[in-house]
Structure 1
Amino acid sequence: MTHPTTPPDLPSHGRYAYSAITRRPVYDWPGGKRLAVYLGVNLEHFAFGTGLGAELAPGGPQPDVLNYAWRDYGNRVGVWRMIELFDALAMPASVLVNSSIYGYCPEVMEAFRARGDEILGHGRTNSERQGILDEASEAALIAETSAVIAAAEGKAPKGWLGPWISQSPVTPDLLAENGYGYLLDWCQDDQPVWFSTRGGGRILSVPYPQELNDIPAIVARKDSASQFADMIIDQFDEMLEQSRAMPLVMGIALHPYIVGQPYRLRQLRRALAHIAARRDDVWLTTAGAVADHVAALPEGIVPGSRGA
């Protein structure tokens, strides 16, 4: 029997081509640093009695009071403890916000605004997925979210993380067409990558973690608070060593209703203090600052860029 000798041509997203991280041009972050570290703080609000939401325990019939109240703890208590921690360690944050937060608990946004943190779009609510919408409805979701944030913050967000990391086949196109410069949904790399968009455009993919993320780690895999903190420390130490050879981005994805619980907060403090103690060796920054730095680099330096 004769077998074909050409590899199969599988369906592709068409956004970027393969690029081995060990065979790319080397560049630095500001100050000659090689490891950029940012905190991705997810501020989420959920519909009561309907829609999606992470679960502490298997939910019963709606209204699922147990899980709704658990998630609401993050906005009422957990986020304030996290802000105190970030202040104590002098660490900036990238705040991924559901636009419904501005109506439900605007005081939280006032606190992050006072800190000067970066604000990103994260949909209207995590009670819905944008990837299942038709194109017109998805475009409206992006535009509505952007308008609410721009009205409150005085400028439109330039970064986006879809609720539930949900994307349709045209999400990068819609984001670029709505003025977004970067997205966080893809976890395929430790360096930023340019994505192609329709009409000859592009949008930057900034690394956002699904391993170093408290929902997959703690809610899905049932890792303990101390295990999650150890993961952060090990990730940081290993990436710091790897970054001697190349620039890397380390994100830490956090949800106040999870790591804002007191016993988990204590372990998070241990992990972030470990990073803060090495602040002279790394770039403690925001996802948006990473995107700005990459956008200013010469063409051909970053995977997916013209000439790369």
Structure 2
Amino acid sequence: MRESPGYYDYWPYQDRPRISWPGGARLAFWVAPNIEFYELDPPGNPHRRAWPHPYPAVPGYSIRDYGNRVGHQRQMRLLDKYGIRGSVSLSAALCVHHPEIVAMCMEREWEFFSHGIYNTRYTYGMSEEQEREMIRESMQIIEDCTGSKPAGYLAPALSHSESTLDLFAELGGRYTCDLFHDDQPTPVRVRGGQRFISLPYSLEMNDTIAYVVNKAEPRRYGQMLKDCFDRLYAEGAESGTVMCIPTHNYQVSCPHRLRAFEEALEYITGHADVWVTTGREIADYYLEHCYDTAAAAIAAANPVRRAC
């Protein structure tokens, strides 16, 4: 029986090589809006139902449609206000169904990374070849639409397989958001040996987890974001940390929730020594300036695996 996923070695937080972000920033801050497309009647998957109630799943579908009709524009104006470029976790089908949303993001030089094609079509049960083709197609659609190949990947509805990271790295990807094991970027072991990393993407700060799973009230969610920042900002004085707020335009952008989110953004961006950036920029900087030192330190801390 496997004891771990095998993507990375145990590497204690203390005594790591110091990360220095651009300009001496303590913390790299990025916001990851999930802009998704859900089908009303998706193909069935024996491993997971897309909707919790029988077809037609109008309530679930329509609140997500609200996000693309109303919530996205509301969130975009807020990110504009605080000088934040979103790093979009994009359902590639949005390029076909709502290209106007993609165009608005492109005008602002937002990043796009792949979140599969539809958020109602899962990796579960796919062969490796089928998953490779799905990832490849999602990347190609985004590149054709935006002119830029996605550097990052988040599996649709977090439905990754044992091969997902290997396949994305083989297709030219540089970072994954599907691992939640650290507050700093870390090297990830993939079968092709590519330079590939995990970028912190917090489930705890994810608005869907906060509101739907943990049943947090808006004021409580806003305070959670500030508390998370305070801890990572303090620790960043010793070595650079990363804070990500993953959002969904049908969650955080509801009228009664937006103020709490805005107050958190105002608080975070009001601090000095914060690098307000995108996922791709964090990944590129880490790969160029930190990856080799980190990989050597991990190998030294795990001599048994290195010997193997």
Kindly tell me: are residues 301 and 53 of structure 1, through their superposed partners in 2, closer, same or farther at Cα, counting changes over 3 Å? farther
Q: 1:248 aligns with which of 206, 231, 241?
A: 241
Q: 2:279 aligns with which of 281, 284, 287?
A: 287
Q: Deviations over 1:165-211 (max 9, x none)?
A: 22111111100111101111111000111111113334211111010
C-alpha distance in structure 1 between counterparts of 2:233 and 2:3, whole Å: 36
Matched with 2:29 is 37
Q: Deviations over 1:262-287 (max 9, x none)?
A: 11112111111111211x32111111
Query: 1:212 touches 1:253 (CA, 8 Å); kept in 2?
Result: yes
C-alpha distance in structure 1 between counterparts of 2:235 and 2:5, whole Å: 29
1:27 CA displacement: 2.2
Matched with 1:60 is 53
Partner letter of residue 91 of structure 1?
I
Is 2:218 aligned against 1:225? yes
Is 2:225 aligned against 1:212? no
C-alpha distance in structure 1 between counterparts of 2:143 and 2:19, whole Å: 33
- Normalising by structure 1, we get a TM-score of 0.91
1:28 CA displacement: 0.5
1:131 CA displacement: 4.0
Percent identical pairs in the alignment equals 34
TM-align CA RMSD: 1.9
Q: 2:146 aligns with which of 141, 153, 170?
A: 153
Kindly tell me: are residues 191 and 89 of structure 1, through their superposed partners in 2, closer, same or farther at Cα, counting changes over 3 Å? same
C-alpha distance in structure 2 between counterparts of 1:298 and 1:268, whole Å: 32
Kindly tell me: are residues 140 and 305 of structure 1, through their superposed partners in 2, closer, same or farther at Cα, counting changes over 3 Å? farther
Kindly tell me: are residues 233 and 298 of structure 1, through their superposed partners in 2, closer, same or farther at Cα, counting changes over 3 Å? closer
Gaps of 5+ in 1: 1-8
Is 2:87 aligned against 1:94? yes
Query: 2:17 touches 2:297 (CA, 8 Å); kept in 1?
Result: no
Partner letter of residue 43 of structure 1?
I
Q: 2:130 aligns with which of 128, 137, 140?
A: 137
Query: 2:29 touches 2:274 (CA, 8 Å); kept in 1?
Result: yes
C-alpha distance in structure 2 between counterparts of 1:306 and 1:242, whole Å: 20
Partner letter of residue 162 of structure 1?
A
Is 2:155 aligned against 1:162? yes
Partner letter of residue 146 of structure 1?
M
Q: Deviations over 1:234-259 (max 9, x none)?
A: 11112111111111111101000001
Query: 1:15 touches 1:195 (CA, 8 Å); kept in 2?
Result: yes
Matched with 1:6 is none
Query: 1:294 touches 1:302 (CA, 8 Å); kept in 2?
Result: no
Kindly tell me: are residues 253 and 182 of structure 1, through their superposed partners in 2, closer, same or farther at Cα, counting changes over 3 Å? same
Task: Give aligned pairs, total.
Answer: 296
- What SS does structure 2 have at the residue aligned with 1:186? coil
Q: Deviations over 1:41-83 (max 9, x none)?
A: 100110113467888xxx5321011111011100000000011
Matched with 1:275 is 268
- What SS does structure 1 have at the residue aligned with 2:196? strand
1:300 CA displacement: 4.2
1:116 CA displacement: 0.4
Per mean C-alpha deviation after superposition, the further-off stretch among 214-223 and 71-80 is: 214-223
Q: 1:177 aligns with which of 163, 170, 183?
A: 170
C-alpha distance in structure 2 between counterparts of 1:202 and 1:94, whole Å: 21
C-alpha distance in structure 2 between counterparts of 1:53 and 1:92, whole Å: 34
Matched with 1:112 is 105
C-alpha distance in structure 2 between counterparts of 1:49 and 1:282, whole Å: 43
Partner letter of residue 190 of structure 2?
T
- Normalising by structure 2, we get a TM-score of 0.91
- What SS does structure 2 have at the residue aligned with 1:253? strand
Q: Deviations over 1:196-227 (max 9, x none)?
A: 11133342111110100011110111111111
Q: Structure 1 residue runs of 4+, over 4 Å off? A: 51-55, 303-308
C-alpha distance in structure 1 between counterparts of 2:40 and 2:223, whole Å: 34
Matched with 1:24 is 16
C-alpha distance in structure 1 between counterparts of 2:72 and 2:120, whole Å: 19
